[in-house]
Amino acid sequence: MKLVIAGGGTGGHLFPGIAVAEEFLSRSSENEVLFIGTERGIESRAVPAAGYRLEIISAAGIRGKGSFGKLKGGIQMLYGYAQSRRVLREFQPDIVLGVGGYASLPVVMAARGLQIPNFIHEQNAIPGMSNRLLARLTDRAFITLEESIRYFPEQKVLLTGNPLRRQILGMQKSEAAEGAVDFLVPSPGSPFHIFVFGGSQGAHAINTAMVAALPFLKKQDTDLEITHQTGEKDCEEISAAYRAAGVAARVTPFISDMAAEYAKADLIVCRAGATTIAEVTACGKACLFIPFPHAVDDHQRRNAEALLKKEACLMLLEQELSGEKLAEVIVELIKDPKARLRMRQLAFSLARLDAAKIIVDEMTRECTA
Ligand SMILES: CC(=O)N[C@H]1[C@@H](OP(=O)(O)OP(=O)(O)OC[C@H]2O[C@@H](n3ccc(=O)[nH]c3=O)[C@H](O)[C@@H]2O)O[C@H](CO)[C@@H](O)[C@@H]1O
């Protein structure tokens, strides 16, 4: 069978697509996958790097743009629709899955026009523009969180969770037997590892707050190990700030092997993108979320609140973020291994590890029915 995965833009949309591709390809050596995305999205680098084929189309957002921007975006989308039809006619997929992001809209619309079974996956508590427009048009909508159920027709929606890549799922297998993560508390005296990252692009506000927190963190008496993913723009500056503060850290713009970093972490400080949340819960990690306040409809805050109401994480809003506050929360957690352990267990209890499997089962069942 042949599957097209459309969309991306950011890692949060793309990586669940890669997780579905991995699952689909594992079912038969004859299966084929093609990704369709845009030139400026993360897919243009990450898809070839992961060994998949990618077709580029034109697509752009129109939300929040002036009338010229809307017109330009509309024209790009129409062009993207024509390109999608051509790519789908050539590749002849049995199934098309839109994973959100601008490019998913023209491709899923084209699939619908060509009567190819088409599906969408929504990662967030509040759906993005493409998935809202496709909600009523697609054959089936897979969702990550119960909170988004009301945006989709009842007979089309299926709660699956957010598909996780094998590098993340592999952690459960390697860390502990029988699918459970290892909840051992690090032995006294071993360094406390903080993993800071700001979603697939890095987060300037988290970067600067963490640097401002360093003098306060230095004062406490636990040995710290820090890995800090900054995004491309801030890397040099943040690296220099750690050196100036005399705090050893691995500072890097992007991390390819996220599973390795998750495995080492005693505490994760990060944005509350939907895929980040799916991953950190699957790894059963103590997490302090700092939601991106400008995400569409404040959906990152909603994503984090879904966990917060189950006491499975901590959350700091950007308007209350300062170096001192951040250090205070981190130090409290360092000192309270019981609270961390409880948070980890609650987080893990909310994880869904079988989303990719369910989605591939459903898509193949519906298109062979
Ligand atoms: C600013 C913005 O609009 N962000 C959105 C975007 O976030 P973003 O792209 O940051 O997505 P997420 O936080 O959900 O996921 C990040 C993904 O990137 C991976 N990763 C991250 C850092 C790194 O160095 N290496 C790496 O591989 C993570 O393992 C994860 O798979 O998509 C998410 C899913 O729709 C939304 O919830 C976010 O609100």
Residue for token pair 């002036």: 66
Domain ranges of the chain: 2-164+353-368, 168-350
Nearest to 107 by CA among 93, 132, 88, 92: 88
Q: Are 41 and 9 in contact (CB under 8 A)?
A: yes
Q: Which residues, 6 or more positions from 101, have their beta carbon under 8 angstroms from its beta carbon?
A: 7, 8, 9, 10, 13, 14, 37, 38, 41, 128, 130
pLDDT of residue 103 exceeding 80? yes
The domains spanning 2-164+353-368 and 168-350 adopt the same CATH topology = yes
**What atom of ligand 1 comes closest to residue 124's alpha carbon?**
37
- Distance (Å, rounded) from C-alpha 19 to C-alpha 46? 13
Query: Given this model, what pLDDT does residue 186 score?
Result: 65
∠ CA 102-107-110, nearest 5°, is 135
- The reply, when asked if residue 165 is annotated as ligand binding, is yes
Q: What contacts 24+ positions apart, CB below 8 Å, involve 179-186?
A: 179/353, 180/348, 181/283, 181/284, 181/344, 181/348, 183/284, 183/341, 183/344, 183/345, 183/348, 185/337, 185/340, 185/341, 186/266
**What atom of ligand 1 comes closest to residue 15's alpha carbon?**
31
Query: Given this model, what pLDDT does residue 173 score?
Result: 54
Per DSSP, helices labelled H in 198-336 are 204-219, 235-245, 258-264, 274-282, 299-308, 323-335
- The reply, when asked if residue 128 is annotated as ligand binding, is no
- The reply, when asked if residue 300 is annotated as ligand binding, is yes
- Which CATH entry fits the domain spanning 168-350: 3.30.465.10, 3.60.10.10, 3.40.50.2000, 2.170.150.70? 3.40.50.2000
Q: Using only the alpha carbons of the chain, give its radius of gyration.
A: 21
pLDDT per residue as tens digits for the range 280-314: 999 999 999 999 999 988 999 999 998 999 999 99
- Distance (Å, rounded) from C-alpha 340 to C-alpha 363? 38
Out of 121, 200, 252, mutate this one to test ligand 1's pocket (max ligand atoms within 8 Å of CB): namely 200
Structure tokens, 166? 């094998």
| CB-ligand 1 contact for 130 (6 Å cutoff) | no
Amino acid at 56: I
Amino acid at 219: K
How many CB atoms are located within 10 Å of the residue 354 CB? Answer: 14
Nearest CA to ligand 1 atom 15: 12
Kindly indicate the confidence band of residue 73, based on its pLDDT and cuts at 50, 70 and 90: confident
- The reply, when asked if residue 12 is annotated as ligand binding, is yes
Query: Given this model, what pLDDT does residue 176 score?
Result: 45
pLDDT of residue 120 exceeding 70? yes
Q: Does domain 2-164+353-368 have CATH number 3.40.50.12500?
A: no
- Distance (Å, rounded) from C-alpha 86 to C-alpha 98? 17
pLDDT of residue 17 exceeding 60? yes
- Distance (Å, rounded) from C-alpha 87 to C-alpha 78? 14
pLDDT of residue 101 exceeding 60? yes
